């Protein structure tokens, strides 16, 4: 049983809002006084834009952070140097890390899966840096329950490409058809896994999810993969 990490197991979007709010307050002035929801939407759009550039090797991990900060501060007439941009991002990261937490359904779902499917093993497939994503797993108390973490930054292939799902199956020594994968993004996660030969499931957390409209906009009748709204639905979906 394989999972996405951010906004599937860990409440990434909530932590982002926490980190950005703290960074804006620390900055003061016009940045602190700006509309919180509008600034959060802007920050999330910059995250999507520049993190995608990192995943395609257009930017390295640190430069995509600098680009996010530059784009965010530009409307306020602030042009940080490379080191200042990273310092600003580190301030944001302090609040972001403070907001790391599991969703309430994660541990009950893992326990129920272990009861329903004897011998089940858990893994992560994530578009990200292996060290950073592992740090999250340790912080939220899941590291001991995850057998393998497959990260795009390590394998050089990002979701939704079939290769990263195939790499996860190889890590467990099984065929892709023996794996199920759940994530909050319809196309990147669920359909990507489905197209690679796994059972792909879309976790639609609604307002709790970070998924863009382009990722989630589809008629439920037209979905090629099952849609769930809680991880507690997984045992019924994957149990033989």
Report d(CA 18, CA 12) in Å as an integer.
10
Omega within 30 of 0 (cis) for the link into 160: yes
Domain made up of 12-98: CATH architecture: Orthogonal Bundle (1.10)
Which candidate, 42, 41, 1, 3, places its Cα nearest to that of 127? 3
Per-state percent for the chain, helix, strand, coil, to nearest 5: 60, 10, 30
Report d(CA 165, CA 2) in Å as an integer.
9
Q: What is the pLDDT of residue 240?
A: 72
pTM for this prediction: 0.90
Does the domain made of 2-10+102-238 have the CATH classification 1.10.760.10? no
The pLDDT tens digits of the residues spanning 90-104 come to 999 999 999 999 999
What is the location of CATH 1.10.150 in the chain? 12-98
Q: Is 189 in contact with 152 (CB distance < 8 Å)?
A: no
E strand or H helix that includes residue 164: helix 162-172
The pLDDT tens digits of the residues spanning 58-82 come to 999 999 999 999 999 999 999 999 9
pLDDT per residue, tens digit, the chain (240 aa), is 999 999 999 999 999 999 999 999 999 999 999 999 999 999 999 999 999 999 889 999 999 999 999 999 999 999 999 999 999 999 999 999 999 999 999 999 999 999 999 999 999 999 989 999 999 999 999 999 999 999 999 999 999 999 999 999 999 999 999 999 999 999 999 999 999 999 999 999 886 555 444 455 555 556 789 999 999 999 999 987
For residue 136, what are its two tokens? 């999250």
Which residues have C-beta within 8 Å of that of residue 151, sequence separation ≥ 6? 124, 126, 127, 128, 129, 130, 133
Q: At what angle do helices 36-55 and 12-27 cross, to 10 degrees?
A: 120
Q: What is the pLDDT of residue 217?
A: 52
Q: What is the pLDDT of residue 67?
A: 97
Half-sphere exposure of 221 (CA within 13 A, CB side): 0
E strand or H helix that includes residue 3: strand 2-3
Q: What is the DSSP letter of 224?
A: S
What is the location of CATH 3.40.50.1000 in the chain? 2-10+102-238
């Amino acid at each position: 049983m394989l999972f996405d990490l951010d906004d599937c197991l860990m409440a990434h979007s909530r932590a982002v809002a926490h980190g950005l709010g703290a960074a804006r307050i620390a900055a003061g002035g016009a940045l602190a006084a700006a509309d919180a929801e509008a600034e959060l939407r802007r920050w999330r759009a910059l995250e999507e834009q520049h993190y995608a550039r990192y995943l395609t090797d257009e930017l390295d991990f640190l430069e995509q952070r600098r680009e996010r900060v530059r784009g965010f501060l530009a409307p306020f007439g602030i042009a940080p140097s490379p080191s200042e941009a990273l310092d600003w991002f580190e301030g944001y990261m302090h609040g972001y890390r403070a907001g790391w937490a599991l969703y309430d359904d994660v541990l009950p779902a893992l326990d129920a899966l272990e009861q329903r499917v004897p011998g089940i093993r858990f893994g992560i497939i994530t578009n990200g840096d292996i060290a950073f994503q592992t740090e999250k797993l340790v912080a939220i108390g899941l590291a001991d329950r995850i057998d393998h973490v497959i990260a795009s930054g390590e394998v050089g292939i990002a979701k939704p490409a079939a290769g990263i799902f195939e790499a996860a199956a190889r890590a467990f020594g099984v065929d892709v058809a023996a794996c199920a994968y759940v994530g909050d993004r319809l196309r990147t996660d669920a359909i990507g896994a489905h197209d690679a030969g796994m059972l792909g499931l879309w976790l639609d957390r609604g307002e709790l999810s970070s998924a863009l409209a382009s990722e989630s906009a589809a008629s439920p009748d037209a979905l090629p993969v099952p849609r769930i709204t809680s991880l507690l639905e997984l045992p019924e979906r994957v149990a033989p």
